[in-house]
Amino acid sequence: MAMIDQAFMKSLFHGVIAEGMVFPYPEMADGEIDAVNRLLESFRKFAVSNIDAAKIDRDAAIPDAVLEGLKQLGLFGMTIPVEYNGLGFSNSAYARVIQEVAGVDLSIALTLGAHNSIGLKGILLFGSDEQKRAYLPRLASGESIAAFALTEPSAGSDAAGVHTHAELSADGKSYALNGSKVWITNGGMADVFTVFARTSKREEGMKPKLTAFITERAMGIKSGPSEGKLGIRGASTTPLYFDDVSVPSGNVLGEKGRGFKVAVEVLNDGRLSLASACVGICKRLLKLAVERTHERRAFGRGIGEFGLIKDKIAMMTAETYALESMVYLTTGFTDANDADFSVESAICKVAASEGLGRVAAEALQIAAGIGFMQDHPYERIFRDSRVSLIFDGTNETLRCFIALSGMQGPGKALADVSRAMREPIKGFGLLSDFAIRKARSALGRERLTRAHPILSRESVLFEEFSAELARNTEKVLRKHGTEISEMQYTQKRVADMAIDLYAIAALLARTTRAIEKRGEEGARREIDLTTIFVSAAERRLGEAVASFEKNDDELRKAIATKAYSDGGYPFDVV
């Protein structure tokens, strides 16, 4: 079962708790922590004197002086190795800086993220030595700014809908690139683009072969006007146009026809950057909310004394602690060069963006009337935060990805066993392995042995619901077979269980580390936050398990179908 060894969450879908992957909770090296703290301190000083987030929102632009200052600080070269004049930060260090920047202004964080996380990431991951030497030094200094160009009107999460195409010249020396892209972050300011285009003919029923190209504005790329947006107004978001843009053959990134692989691996990193940005905004909102509880009075006392306000602050704090724990557990995976973190990355993006939505709504609610007014930061941050549910793959698409990717291993195992049963001599080893796993699950659930005993209740809950995830995964695969790809209600339940279970695992690992370092009383706050988050997760997990058997999925589908035929809401009172 090689699949089980590849990743923590993919193992969990088999019912295997690969606790060695999450314990001990990862930490940055001391030397890197010092470097990050120095950069954070420099950025904070720069931000206080130079960054006016409200003005960036009003003007819908980041001032050139701010961009120049960010370049001088080295923020455009955070992910680039030192040998190419970058800072050479690990993924954890980079995420921590993006988190800090997002707490000041999300438009700036997304500008840096579109450059570091996705714009140039393809060159880092797939570029040849020659390509790296040609592009990375000037991208590290900010002399050139990078962007990632995949999305088209008919091709957001569905890369198969890409219409932009590239045709090889007769002499094989260049490609003619034609088509357009939309909603490209940094589209108006970038001069280096990772562009995805078809290099196969568009034929009905044929899966397109995409190729990634390193392109430059100087090759003839045109950008349209900046889009008017609900939030993140300071980020440059434009369409791009390619009209016989000539791209040298040497600028193919990776292999011809393997662009989908480039896109997937780049977006895995991009989702972690976005998740860390969400954590930074949660922390900023929590600070604002706590300040507001001291300022605002009602019925003769500060609102912070009321139970319902304390409940909001408690849950905002617990959610932020859980999200932070998940993100830095996952960046720890990537820094350790573990083979597969795609499911964990998607989980972090979904959880962080939705957690941010709840924290932003509660912060605005605590602020009350001023939260709705443009003279205060709440409404701007609320607007900015909304895009996180859409960027880097919509949360609906990512839930399907989490579920189907996780179920792929158990699904293959069941198919292999089915084939082996038809040829028992050839398949004896596989059948024996399957029988051992089934016997082990029948005798008792997998155990967590490395979580601190103080967290025993939370550990048992994790064990029990991990077993439920594996049991229900096998059950729905047996019931639906290959049709599971269309069962999106079921996929959502599976994904929601996976998200909460990963959060609990991250909390157990991080809080165990805190207890081991500082003792029970020294880690009391971490223990309490783990307790209330896991209690809330327990209720959600219980509901998800119950709904596998009892649900109103078909009724909901029927209601939606009727609404489609009605063209909207069909009723009136007159």
Q: Looking at 97, 118, 141, which one is the last position of a domain? A: 141
CATH of the domain at 544: 1.20.140.10
Predicted confidence at residue 446, as pLDDT, reads 82
Residue 109 neighbours by CB under 8 Å, 6+ apart: 98, 101, 102, 277, 280
542 and 442 within one domain: yes
Predicted confidence at residue 565, as pLDDT, reads 97
Q: Which amino acid is at 418?
A: S
The 10 Å Cβ neighbour count of residue 307 is 7
Predicted confidence at residue 425, as pLDDT, reads 46
In a domain, 165, yes or no: yes
Say which range, 36-50, 111-125, 186-200, 432-446, has the weakest mean pLDDT.
432-446
**462-479 average pLDDT score:** 95
| pLDDT band at residue 426 under the 50/70/90 scheme | very low
- Give the residue ranges of DSSP H helices in 423-552: 428-443, 456-480, 488-522, 524-549
535 and 424 within one domain: yes
Instruction: Say how far apart CA 350 and CA 382 lie, in whole Å.
Output: 17
Q: Write out pLDDT tens, residues 339-378.
A: 689 999 999 999 999 999 999 999 999 999 999 999 999 9
Tokens of 29: 């090296």
SS3 content of the chain, % helix, strand, coil (to 5): 65, 10, 25
Specify the 3-state DSSP secondary structure of 74. coil
| Beta pairing class for 165-168 and 237-248 | unpaired
220 and 182 within one domain: yes
In a domain, 15, yes or no: no
Q: Report the chain's C-alpha Rg in angstroms.
A: 25
Contact 141, 191 (CB under 8 A): no
Task: Identify which of 314, 295, 313, 287 has the alpha carbon closest to the alpha carbon of residue 381.
Answer: 287
CATH of the domain at 249: 2.40.110.10
Query: What's the distance, CA 49 to chain centroid?
Result: 31
Predicted confidence at residue 153, as pLDDT, reads 85
Predicted confidence at residue 161, as pLDDT, reads 78
User: Is the pLDDT score of 157 beyond 80?
Assistant: no
Predicted confidence at residue 428, as pLDDT, reads 42
How many CA atoms lie less than 13 Å away from 4 in the CB half-sphere?
Answer: 15
Q: At what angle do helices 307-335 and 259-295 cross, to 10 degrees?
A: 150
Predicted confidence at residue 416, as pLDDT, reads 59
User: Is the pLDDT score of 471 beyond 90?
Assistant: yes
Please provide residue 223's backbone torsions phi and psi, each rounded to the nearest 5 degrees.
Answer: -115, 145
Specify the 3-state DSSP secondary structure of 438. helix
CATH of the domain at 99: 1.10.540.10
In a domain, 438, yes or no: yes
Query: What's the distance, CA 441 to chain centroid?
Result: 32
Predicted confidence at residue 437, as pLDDT, reads 52
In a domain, 29, yes or no: yes
Predicted confidence at residue 339, as pLDDT, reads 66
128 and 244 within one domain: no
282 and 370 within one domain: yes
Q: Which domain holds residue 187?
A: 146-257
pLDDT, greater one: 15 or 418: 15
* DSSP label at residue 303: G
| pLDDT band at residue 155 under the 50/70/90 scheme | confident
Q: Looking at 368, 396, 424, which one is the last position of a domain? A: 396
Query: What's the distance, CA 42 to chain centroid?
Result: 27
Query: What's the distance, CA 231 to chain centroid?
Result: 19
Cα 517–Cα 520–Cα 522 angle in degrees, nearest 5: 65
In a domain, 5, yes or no: no
219 and 182 within one domain: yes
pLDDT, greater one: 161 or 249: 249
Q: Write out pLDDT tens, residues 261-311.
A: 999 999 988 999 999 999 999 999 999 999 999 999 999 999 999 999 999
In a domain, 355, yes or no: yes
Contact 356, 281 (CB under 8 A): yes
**470-487 average pLDDT score:** 92
Number of domains observed in the structure of the chain:
4
Sort residue 85 into left (φ over 0), alpha (ψ -120 to 50) or beta: left
User: Is the pLDDT score of 154 beyond 60?
Assistant: yes
Tokens of 504: 């609990």
42 and 134 within one domain: yes
Cis before 24? omega within 30: yes
Instruction: Say how far apart CA 400 and CA 49 lie, in whole Å.
Output: 44
Q: Write out pLDDT tens, residues 200-259.
A: 876 645 677 999 999 999 999 999 999 999 999 999 999 999 999 999 999 999 999 999
201 and 96 within one domain: no
In a domain, 134, yes or no: yes
As a whole-number percent, the residues of the chain with pLDDT over 70 amount to 91
Predicted confidence at residue 176, as pLDDT, reads 98
Tokens of 525: 């706050």
Instruction: Report which secondary-structure segment, H or E, holds 148.
Output: strand 146-149
388 and 439 within one domain: no
pLDDT, greater one: 162 or 185: 185
453 and 496 within one domain: yes
Q: Which amino acid is at 420?
A: A
**385-389 average pLDDT score:** 97
- Give the residue ranges of DSSP H helices in 51-170: 53-59, 64-73, 91-104, 106-113, 121-126, 129-141
Q: What is the DSSP string of 89-118?
A: --HHHHHHHHHHHHHH-HHHHHHHHIIIII
* Strand runs labelled E in 199-351: 210-216, 222-223, 237-248, 252-253, 297-298, 301-302
Instruction: Report which secondary-structure segment, H or E, holds 158.
Output: none
Predicted confidence at residue 190, as pLDDT, reads 98
Q: Which amino acid is at 148?
A: F
Predicted confidence at residue 415, as pLDDT, reads 66
- Which burial class, exposed, middle or buried, applies to 569 when counting CB atoms under 10 A from its CB (0-12, 13-18, 19+)? exposed
Instruction: Report which secondary-structure segment, H or E, holds 179.
Output: strand 174-185
Tokens of 334: 């990537």
Predicted confidence at residue 262, as pLDDT, reads 95
271 and 241 within one domain: no
414 and 373 within one domain: no
Q: Looking at 84, 111, 141, which one is the last position of a domain? A: 141
Instruction: Say how far apart CA 407 and CA 495 lie, in whole Å.
Output: 10
Average pLDDT across the chain, whole number: 92
Predicted confidence at residue 340, as pLDDT, reads 84
User: Is the pLDDT score of 4 beyond 50?
Assistant: no
Predicted confidence at residue 143, as pLDDT, reads 98
Predicted confidence at residue 427, as pLDDT, reads 44
Tokens of 520: 């029970």
Q: Write out pLDDT tens, residues 300-336.
A: 999 999 999 999 999 999 999 999 999 999 999 999 8
In a domain, 443, yes or no: yes
Q: Which amino acid is at 107?
A: S
Instruction: Say how far apart CA 432 and CA 415 lie, in whole Å.
Output: 15
**474-486 average pLDDT score:** 91
